[in-house]
Amino acid sequence: MIFTRALAAAATVATAVTTLSLSAAALAQTPAYPTKPITVIVPYSVGGTTDIVARLVTTQLGNSLGQSLIADNRVGGGGQIGWSAAARSAPDGYTLLTTEMSFTIAPGLFPKLPFDGRKDFAHVITAAAAPHVLVINPNVPAKNVQEFVALAKAKPGSMNYGSGGNGTNTHLGGELFKSAAGVELVHVPYKGAGQVLTDLMAGQVQALVTSLPTALPHIKSGKLRALVVTSDTRSPLLPDVPSAKEAKLPSFVMDFWVGFAVRAGTPAPIIDQLNHAIAATLTSADGKRRLAEQGLTPVANTPAQAGQLAASEMQRWAAVIKAAGIKAE
C-alpha cells in the first residue's frame, strides 16, 4: 500500500478515534501512567524537521499527560544509534522513539541491524507527513517534468541526480523516479543532504528528490525549480506544480513522514493513551499551524494503522533497494 494514498482515510478514522475515552476496564489492569518524565529519543540533529515535530509533541504533551517529556537527540549511524537505544528500552511507555522514512528503509539496507525493526517496536502514531518533490537547477533546460524526461531520454546517462548518500530517502527517491519515468540518470552521492543542496543550487548536480519541507524555501527563492510533487494531488504549498498522478508517474508517490513508536510489549492502554494525547496535540489549531510552518500535514492515525503503514513502507523500500542494487556505505 502506497503511504500517501492511505493518509486521507487514516486521518478520517483517527479523528473519530481521538474522541473516544480509554476503557476503564483496560486501565484498571495497567499501572498508573505516567508517574515520571518520558524520554523522547530523536535519532537526528537538533533543528531538522523530525526534531521540530518531536519538540512540538514534547512541549505540548506534558500538559495533557501531567509529566514532562524530554527530547534526547541520539545522533549517528544514520539513525542507528537512536534506534538501538530505543530497542534496549523497557516496554513501559517511558521511552518514545521518533521514527521517519529512514527507519523503514533500514531493514532492507542493513542486513545485520542489532534489532528487528519489524518486531521490536510497537507503533504509536504516524504524526505528520509531506510529499517529496523533484527539483532541478534552474539552468537545466527543462521547464516541466515532461521536458526533463525528454532531455534525459535524448541523452541516456548524460544527466545526473544528487543524494545525501547511499540508501537515503533522496537516493531511493531518485531511483523511484528513474523507474517511474523510464530514464537513466547518474547517481551522485554526497555525505549529507546539506552539501547536495548547496551543489544543486550551484549547478554541480542537476536534480534532486527531497522532502517538500527541505526544498520549499529554495523553490520560493527561485534557486531551485520544482517539477513534480510525489503525491496523488497537488500540494497547497506548491499549487502550480503537478502531482505525480497528473504527470502520469503513478509509481512516483512517496512521503516524508514522522511518527512515534515504543518498545514492543508496551501495554496497549499506554499506547492508546499516548496516541490520543499526541493526536490531540497535532490536530489542535496550534498544532496544525506549527506543522504547516514546516510544510507538514497532520496524519494522527491509530496505532494499528501506523503499524500497517510502517510495515508496508519497509516492504516497499526493501524491493526498491533490491531492484536498484543499493548497498549501504
Q: What is the mean pLDDT of the chain?
A: 91
Residue 259 shares a structural domain with residue 125? yes
Convert the pLDDT of each residue in 55-106 to its tens digit.
999 988 988 899 999 999 999 988 999 999 999 999 999 999 999 999 999 9
Give pLDDT tens digits for 257-313: 999 999 999 999 999 999 999 999 999 999 999 999 888 999 999 999 999 999 999
Domain that holds residue 140: 131-229
Shared domain check, 121 and 142: no
Looking at residue 48, what is its pLDDT? 86
- State residue 193's pLDDT score: 85
Same domain, yes or no: 120 and 149: no
Q: Is residue 154 pLDDT above 60, yes or no?
A: yes
Average pLDDT over residues 205-212: 97
Specify the pLDDT at position 97: 98
* 125 and 259 together in one domain: yes
pLDDT of the residue at 63: 87
Domain count, the chain: 2
Domain membership of residue 80 (yes or no) is yes
Q: Give the per-residue pLDDT at 98.
A: 98
Residue after which a domain boundary falls, among 229, 247, 276: 229
In a domain, 242, yes or no: no
pLDDT of residue 24: 44
- Looking at the fold, whether 262 and 119 belong to one and the same domain comes out as yes
> What percent of the chain clears pLDDT 70, i.e. is strictly above it?
91
pLDDT-based confidence at residue 27 (cuts at 50, 70, 90): very low
Confidence (pLDDT) at 49: 87
Which residue, of 214, 229, 244, is where some domain finishes? 229
Give Rg (Cα) of the chain: 20
Nearest to 299 by CA among 124, 123, 125: 125
Q: Is residue 66 within 8 Å of 128, Cβ to Cβ?
A: no
**Co-location of 126 and 11 in the same domain:** yes
pLDDT at residue 19 in the model:
41
The answer to whether residue 246 is domain-embedded is no
74 lies in some domain: yes
Question: Please, are residues 218 and 224 in contact by the beta-carbon 8 Å criterion?
Answer: yes
Q: Kindly state whether residue 312 falls inside one of the protein's structural domains.
A: yes
Q: Is 238 within a domain? A: no
Euclidean distance between CA atoms 104 and 129, whole angstroms: 14
Q: For position 218, which CATH number holds?
A: 3.40.190.10
Report the share of the chain in percent with pLDDT over 90.
81
Cα within 13 Å of Cα(134), Cβ side:
34
The pLDDT confidence band at residue 195, using thresholds 50, 70 and 90, is: very high
Give me the CATH number covering residue 280: 3.40.190.150
Cell of 252: 512516483
- Do both 155 and 206 map to the same domain? yes
Same domain, 152 and 113: no
In a domain, 268, yes or no: yes
3-state helix, strand, coil in the chain (%, to 5): 45, 20, 35
* 271 and 187 belong to one structural domain: no
**Are both 13 and 102 inside the same structural domain?**
yes
pLDDT at 77: 87
12: pLDDT strictly greater than 70: no
Kindly report the pTM of this predicted structure.
0.86
Residue 243 lies inside a defined structural domain of this protein: no
203 and 262 part of one domain = no
pLDDT tens by residue, 221-259: 999 999 999 999 999 999 999 999 999 999 999 999 999
Report residue 29's pLDDT band, with 50, 70 and 90 as the boundaries. low
Is residue 218 within 8 Å of 135, Cβ to Cβ?
A: yes
What span, in angstroms and rounded, lies between the C-alpha atoms of 132 and 243?
10
16 and 114 part of one domain: yes
